Structure 1
Amino acid sequence: MAMTPTRRTIGSARDVAEAAFKSATAKTAPKLPEAAPAAKSPALPNAKELVSLRLDREVLEHFQKDGPGWQERVNAALRKAAGL
């Protein structure tokens, strides 16, 4: 008695390929934390934040006239103005 191989039919090759593609590219919704913190504190103490700021040309020239370190001088002036 010769045994004939049995084939399981799960659909056409195209259907199988489409199902594999969909499972591989399916987007899942990210898990949200139960309670998100209101504001993140910097990981390092005294960490600086990169921002974009528009200043008048004269103000920028004032702080840059003494050379390197002008960004620290702007930060110090803003801290003083903010009362920090």
Structure 2
Amino acid sequence: MGYTPGKNSRKPFFGSLVLALNGEYRGCVGSGFSDYELRSLKEKFVPEKRTSLAIGKAYTPIQPGLKAQIKYYQITDAGVMR
């Protein structure tokens, strides 16, 4: 779905990935990435000019198609991973 801007040492890369399943927001994930993974992922992102879903934070939408395997604690009643 997209990524948030990186800050400090992650400024050249991204802050967190904005995740979706079937076009619906499922949460953000930003921890657990090595420097190599940050660089490699950012190179795969193709920004897309489209209206962003309102998720309460700024993010850059990217072309769909990338898949991620995410570890999470639970899924909230709203369908968001924690």
Larger Rg: 1
Structure of greater relative contact order (alpha carbons < 8 Å, 6+ residues apart): 2
Q: Select the structure that is richer in helix.
A: 1
TM-score by structure 1 length?
0.26
TM-score by structure 2 length?
0.26
Q: Select the structure that is richer in strand.
A: 2
